[in-house]
Structure 1
Amino acid sequence: MKKNILIKKLVKEIASNNLAIFAGAGLSVGAGYIDWKSLLREFAEEIDLDVDKEHDLVSLAQYYINEKGGIKSTVNELILNEFSQKAILTENHKILARLPIDTFWTTNYDPMLEKALEDSGKIVDVKHSTDHLSTSIRGRDAVVYKMHGDALDSNNAVLTKDDYEEYNLKRNEFFTALRGDLTTKKFLFLGFSFSDPNIDYILSRIRLSHGNNQSEHYCILRNVTQFPDEQQADFEYRERKQELFINDLRRFGIQTVSINEYEEITEILLEVEKIQKQKTIFISGAAEDYAPYSQQEVENFVSSLTQEILKLGYRVVTGFGLGIGSSVISGAVKYLLENRLKIDEDHLVLRPFPQNEEGRQLWTAYRKDMISYAGISIFLFGNKIDSEGKIVDSNGMREEFDISKTNDNTLLPVGGTGSISENLWESLLDNESSNQTIDINGLAPSITDLETIKNNILTILKGIKS
Structure 2
Amino acid sequence: MEIPQQLIKKIQQNNLVIFAGAGISINAGLPNWNNLIDTILEGLGNKEPKSEKFKAALKDELFTPIEILNKIKHLKSESIEIFYQELSKYNNCEPTTIHKKIGELSNKIITTNYDELLEKELSSFEKIVYTNTYKVAKLSEIDRYIYKIHGDINEPDKCILFPSEYENLYSIDEKSSVFELKKIISDKSVLFIGFSLNDPYIDYIFNYVNNLYSGFTPEHFIITTQKNKEWPNKITPIILDDFSKLSSLLDELIKIKVTQKEEIEEIQQELKNSSKNAIIEFKQSSEFDSPPNNKYWVGRNKELVNISNDNFKIIFITGIGGQGKSALAANYLRNHFDSKKYEFADWRDFKEETNRFQTKLVSIVKRLNENFNILNLENFSNNDLVDTFFNNLGNRKIIFVFDNIDSYIDLETFKPTGSLGYFFEQILYREHNSKFIFTCRPFIREASINFYQISLSGISEDECEELFGFYKIPISKIQLKSLSIRAHKLAKGHPLWLNLIAGQAIRGVETVTNFINSIENKSNFDEDNFSAILSEKILNEVWNSLNDKQKILIRGISETVKPEKEENLKTILDSELNANQFHKSLRVLKNLNLIETLSDGEIELHPLVKEFILTKYPRNERAKFITLFVQYYDKFIYVLKPKLNSNLTINEFQNWTSKIELQINSNDFKSALIALEEVSSAILTSGFSEEYLRVCEMLYKKIDWNDSISKEYPYFHSQFISLTSTQVQMGKFDLCDENLEKYQNLIPGKSSYYLSYCSQKSYKLWYQGLFDDSISIAEEGVFLLDESSLTDNYSLRHNLALALRDSRKKNNLKKALEYFLKNEKIEDILNREKINFDFNGHFYGNIGKCLEYMNLYDDALYCYYLSLKLLFKENDTNSILNMGYASLWISELLLKDKKNIDGLYFLKFAKNNWDKTSPPRAKGLKQTWSNLAFDKASKDSIAKLTNWKIENHCKNYLSKRLLN
Q: Which has the higher contact order (CA 8 A, sep 6+)?
A: 1
Deviations along 1:158-216, one digit per CA (max 9) or x if unpaired, are 11233234334698333222222222211111111256565534543554464454321
In 1, Cα distance between equivalents of 2:28 and 2:339: 41
Letter in 1 for 2:112: T
- Counterpart residue number, 1:94: 100
Q: How does 1:31-42 map to 2 (within 5 A)?
A: 31-42=28-39
User: Structure 1 172/212 Cα, relative in aligned 2: closer, same or farther at 3 Å?
Assistant: closer
> C-alpha displacement at 1:305, in angstroms?
5.7
Would you say the 8 A contact 1:105–1:145 is kept in 2? yes
Q: What do the CA deviations read for 1:314-336 (whole angstroms, capped 9, x no partner)?
A: 88xxxxxxxxxxxxxxx999664
Cα distance in 1 between the residues matched to 2:343 and 2:79: 57
What amino acid does structure 1 have at the position aligned with 2:71?
Answer: Y
SS in 2 for 1:71: helix
Retained in 1: the 8 A contact 2:80–2:156? no
Higher helix share goes to which structure?
2
Q: CA deviation at 1:73?
A: 4.5
Q: How big is the shift at 1:217?
A: 0.8
Paired letter, 2:24: L
Q: Is the 8 A contact 1:204 1:252 kept in 2?
A: no
Confirm or deny: 8 A CA contact 1:31 1:90 kept in the other structure.
yes
Equivalent residues in 2 for 1:140-159 (5 A)? Answer: 140-159=142-161
Q: Residue 222 of structure 1 aligns to which amino acid in structure 2?
A: T
Which residue matches 1:10? 7
The amino acid that maps onto 2:95 is L
Query: 1:127 corresponds to which letter in structure 2?
Result: V
**Does the residue aligned with 1:104 lie in a helix, a strand or coil?**
strand
The amino acid of 1:74's aligned partner reads: E
1:53 corresponds to which of 29, 42, 60: 60
Q: 1:71 aligns with which of 78, 86, 97?
A: 78
Q: Which residue of the partner structure matches residue 449 of structure 1?
A: none
SS in structure 1 of the partner of residue 179 of structure 2? helix
**AA in 2 matched with 1:190:** I
Shift of 1:259: 0.9
Does structure 2 conserve the Cα–Cα contact (< 8 Å) formed by 1:279 and 1:314? no
TM-score by length of 1: 0.51
1:267 aligns with 2:248: yes
Cα deviation for residue 128 of structure 1 reads 3.4
User: What amino acid maps onto 1:92 in structure 2?
Assistant: I
In the TM superposition, residue 153 of structure 1 has moved relative to its aligned partner by 0.6
1:87 shift after superposition: 2.2
How much does 1:150 deviate? 0.3
Shift of 1:152: 0.6
In the alignment, the residues of structure 2 paired with residue 44 and residue 183 of structure 1 have an alpha-carbon distance, to the nearest angstrom, of 39
Give the deviation of 1:86 after TM superposition.
Answer: 3.1
2:239 pairs with one of 247, 253, 258: 258
Partner of 1:160: 162
Whether the 8 Å CA contact 1:24–1:108 is kept in 2: the answer is yes
Cα gap change, 1:79 to 1:164, in 2 (>3 Å): farther
| 1:103 shift after superposition | 2.3
Query: Quick check: which has more Rg, 1 or 2?
Result: 2
Aligned to 1:113: 118
1:221-261 CA distance string (max 9 Å, x none): 124xxxxxxxxxxxxxxxxxx61x2x2x1x33111111112
Residue by residue over 1:287-336, the C-alpha shift from the partner in whole angstroms, topping out at 9 and shown as x without a partner, is: xxxxxxxxxxxxxxxx9767249979688xxxxxxxxxxxxxxx999664
Aligned residue identity for 1:60: I
1:81 to 78, 88, 91: 88
* Matched AA of 1:71: E
Equivalent-residue separation in structure 1 for 2:179 and 2:283 (angstroms): 36
Matched, 1:217 2:220: yes
Letter in 2 for 1:156: K
Residues 80-104 of structure 1 deviation map (CA, whole Å, 9 limit, x = unaligned):
5145x132221121112123x2322
Tell me the amino acid that sits aligned with residue 66 of structure 2. Answer: V
Q: Determine the C-alpha separation between the residues in 1 that align with 2:31 and 2:156.
A: 16
2:125, 2:146 within 8 Å by CA — same for their partners in 1? no
- Matching residue within 126, 129, 132 for 1:127: 129
Cα pair distance change 1:280/1:161, threshold 3 Å? closer
Q: For residues 115-143 of structure 1, give each alpha carbon's deviation from its aligned partner in whole angstroms, at most 9, with x where no partner exists.
A: 3222xxx3424223153445548984322
TM-score w.r.t. length of structure 2: 0.26
Moved more, 27-36 or 208-217: 208-217
The 3 A distance-change label for structure 1 pair 123 and 254 is closer
Higher strand share: 1
> Does the 8 A contact of 1:62 with 1:160 survive in 2?
yes
Distance 1:345 1:180, change over 3 A: closer
Secondary structure in 2 matching 1:257: strand
Q: Cα–Cα, structure 1 residues 29 and 345, in superposed 2: closer, same or farther, change >3 Å? A: farther
Q: Structure 1 residues 278, 332: CA separation in 2 closer, same or farther (over 3 Å shift)?
A: farther
Query: How many Å separate the matches in 2 of 1:191 and 1:95?
Result: 13
Call closer, same or farther: CA 1:104–1:207 in 2, change over 3 Å. same
Using the TM superposition, give the Cα deviation of residue 20 of structure 1 relative to its aligned residue in structure 2, in angstroms.
0.8
Matches within 5 A, 1:226-375: 243=228, 245=229, 247=230, 249=231, 251-281=232-262, 307-308=272-273, 336-338=343-345
Q: Measure, in 1, the Cα distance between the counterparts of 2:340 and 2:140.
A: 24
> Structure 1 residues 184-193 or 41-50, which shifts more?
41-50
Alignment gaps of 5+ in structure 2: 46-50, 285-337, 349-362, 372-964
Q: Which moved more, 1:267-276 or 1:164-173?
A: 164-173
Cα distance, 1:344–1:308 mapped onto 2, change above 3 Å: farther
Identical residues among aligned pairs (%): 24
Tell me the residue number matched to 1:459. none
1:124–1:142 Cα contact (<8 Å) kept:
yes
**Within-5 A mapping of 1:418-433:** none
Number of residue pairs aligned between Structure 1 and Structure 2: 286
Distance in 2 (CA, whole Å) between partners of 1:196 and 1:64 is 18
- Measured after TM superposition, the shift of residue 16 of structure 1 is 1.9
- CA distance in structure 1 between the aligned counterparts of 2:98 and 2:189, rounded to whole angstroms: 19
Shift of 1:77: 2.7
- Structure 1 residues 63 and 339: alpha-carbon distance in aligned structure 2, compared to 1, 3 A threshold: closer
Distance 1:138 1:186 in 2: 15
Confirm or deny: 8 A CA contact 2:137 2:176 kept in the other structure.
no
**CA displacement at 1:157 relative to structure 2:** 1.0
Contact 2:222 2:238 in 1 (8 A): yes
> Taking structure 1 as reference, are residues 80 and 206 closer, same or farther at Cα in structure 2, changes over 3 Å only?
closer
Q: Supply the AA of the counterpart residue of 1:63.
A: K
How far apart are residue 110 of structure 1 and its match? Answer: 0.9
Amino acid at match of 1:96: I
> Does the Cα contact within 8 Å between 1:214 and 1:253 map onto a contact in 2?
yes
Aligned to 2:857: none
8 Å CA contact 1:125–1:137 kept in 2: the answer is no
After superposition, the Cα gap between the structure-2 partners of 1:334 and 1:108, relative to the gap in structure 1 and judged at 3 Å, is farther
CA RMSD in angstroms, aligned pairs only: 4.1
